């Protein structure tokens, strides 16, 4: 249960700070609590959809300042939580948390991992989970279309039936943003909405693979259906129009 006090909340004796402005990601101080790159409305939606559920095996993409990994571990108390990040520099506050009694061997951060490197993702998955299915995947990593799609194609089939896959910040190309650094970094990148449309179309074409797709302004939440996925998976193979696969083109630049 989250206990709120202004822009901060606690889970037990763990204190967290949330993002109000994008610049907060760089200005908040660790001594005031673990830092999450999520606004309160995201967390309210997390609690609305996920509170009370059991997630034994969690795979997170995107560590940044470490608060989200710690939040997921405190919120759901999984048996194992793997988190990867593109940045090769370890996050000290997360590493210290991961070494605490009760977390050692259960919270496993991996640094210098490109989320589109499927070979590396496969190595990490099999090294840490063996062949056990995942219960929850949270992608708050690059927010780039091709990279996010590559991760989804690999990790979605690893979910158990009823497992949840969350893709955060999918709508960045369609929201006003006056943060110059973000606009520059994303200027040449195609919209993440392309992947979300693919998922929605696939949920219609192959309803056995997708139990539910829930979309809000912050993230999309995909619940895996009961039909197993064998072999390689490509979400774009399911984007039919009038009986024909539409191919590999994107909908938005």
Q: Which helix (H) or strand (E) holds 111?
A: strand 107-111
pLDDT at position 114 is: 99
Tell me: pLDDT of 179 over 80.
no
Tell me: pLDDT of 32 over 90.
no
192 burial type by CB count under 10 A (0-12 exposed, 13-18 middle, 19+ buried): buried
Q: Which of 170-174, 198-202, 227-231 has the lowest mean pLDDT?
A: 170-174
CA 124/CA 69 separation, integer angstroms: 16
Domains and CATH numbers, the chain: 45-243 (3.40.50.150)
pLDDT at position 186 is: 77
Strands laid side by side in the 34-35 sheet = 3-5, 8-11, 14-17, 34-35
185 strand-pairing partners? none
**Residues 57 and 129 sit within 8 Å (Cβ to Cβ):** yes
Measured in degrees and rounded to the nearest 5, phi and psi for residue 84 equal -120, 155
Measured in degrees and rounded to the nearest 5, phi and psi for residue 44 equal -60, -40
Q: What is the pLDDT of residues 75-134, one digit of tens each?
A: 999 999 999 999 999 999 999 999 999 999 999 999 999 999 999 999 999 999 999 999
* pTM for this prediction: 0.94
Q: Which of 19-23, 115-119, 233-237 has the lowest mean pLDDT?
A: 19-23
Selection from 214, 202, 62, 224 nearest residue 157 by Cα? 224
CA 206/CA 228 separation, integer angstroms: 11
Tell me: pLDDT of 14 over 90.
yes
């Amino acid at each position: 249960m989250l206990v709120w006090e202004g822009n901060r909340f606690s889970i037990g004796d763990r204190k967290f700070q949330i993002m109000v402005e994008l610049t907060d990601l760089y200005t908040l101080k660790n001594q005031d609590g673990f830092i999450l790159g999520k606004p309160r409305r995201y967390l309210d939606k997390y609690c609305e959809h996920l509170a009370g559920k059991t997630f034994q095996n969690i795979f997170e993409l995107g560590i940044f300042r470490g608060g989200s990994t710690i939040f997921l571990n405190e919120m759901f108390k999984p048996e194992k939580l793997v988190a990867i990040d593109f940045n090769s520099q370890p996050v000290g506050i997360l590493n210290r948390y991961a070494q605490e009694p009760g977390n050692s061997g259960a919270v496993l951060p991996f640094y210098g991992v490109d989320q589109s490197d499927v070979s590396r993702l496969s190595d990490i998955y099999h090294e840490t989970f063996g062949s056990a299915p995942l219960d929850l995947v949270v992608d708050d990593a690059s927010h780039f279309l091709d990279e996010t799609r590559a991760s989804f194609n690999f990790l979605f089939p690893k979910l158990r039936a009823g497992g949840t896959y969350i893709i955060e910040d999918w709508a960045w190309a369609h929201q006003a943003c006056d943060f110059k650094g973000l606009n520059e970094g994303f200027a040449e990148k195609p919209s993440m909405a392309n992947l979300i449309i693919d998922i929605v179309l696939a949920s219609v074409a192959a309803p056995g693979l997708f139990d539910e797709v829930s979309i809000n302004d912050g993230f999309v939440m995909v619940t895996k259906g009961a039909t197993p996925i064998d072999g390689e998976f490509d979400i774009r193979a399911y984007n039919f129009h009038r009986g024909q696969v539409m191919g590999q083109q994107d909908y938005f630049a």
